[in-house]
Amino acid sequence: MLSRVAERIYWQARYLERAENTARLLSVFSTLLLDLPPGTKLSWRSLVEITGTDRAFDEKYKQANERNVMRFLLLDSASSLLNTLENTRENARTTREIMPLEAFEQINDLFHYVKDNAGGSISGGSRHKFLEEIISNCHEISGLMAGSMSRGAAYSFVRLGRSLERADMATRIIDVGSGNLLHKHWYRSKASRIQ
């Protein structure tokens, strides 16, 4: 296998996993808002911090409110869900001879679905259904590849890309979460020393 083909397979799998992770993160955060007691505040900015795109966000927006964060993570950034799926599609397009045709077709369909529906999902209405559709399609694509690719080098690069992206997202979530906990702990301990 050529190194450029291996690289494209790796990135195709990694971008697909990133799209699923982003959709899942937005879905869980939106659902969490519904379950919290009235008056509880959650920081939408933490979603931007998890994706590591704070600087790009700050260049485009003044406030990290729900609408701005959703627009940024769905449409308006280099690492948005739409751009991630476009990168997935481009890498899959150039390696079509290695992956199942059905997987490429589904990646293409998913890209067009997000392109056509992301704008309408920025505000609450159909957001949950939209994000669940993305997650479901990512699972189907991964299942197609797992079920129909031979267990050679190409499939190893698919697994490697997915696993590294999953580990990267997990460490980002832990990093932002622990940073918030340490920040709160520091203020509480400082306040108790002042009293």
**Residue given tokens 């993305």 in the structure block:** 134
Comparing C-alpha atoms, which of 19, 44, 32, 21 is closest to residue 118?
A: 19
Question: Which two structure tokens, joined as six digits, stand for 50?
Answer: 């998890």
Do 162 and 17 form a contact (C-beta atoms < 8 A)?
Answer: yes
Confidence (pLDDT) at 69: 92
In this predicted model, what pLDDT tens digit does every residue of 4-23 receive, in sequence order? Answer: 999 999 999 999 999 999 99
Ranges of beta strands (E only) in 51-147 are none
pLDDT in tens, the chain (195 residues): 789 999 999 999 999 999 999 999 999 888 887 777 777 777 888 899 998 898 999 999 999 988 999 999 999 888 899 999 999 999 999 998 888 899 999 999 999 999 999 988 887 778 899 999 999 999 999 999 999 999 999 999 999 999 999 999 999 988 887 655 554 444 444 444 455
Do 104 and 140 form a contact (C-beta atoms < 8 A)?
Answer: no
3-state helix, strand, coil in the chain (%, to 5): 80, 0, 20
Ramachandran sector of residue 115 (left: φ over 0; alpha: ψ -120 to 50; beta: rest)? alpha
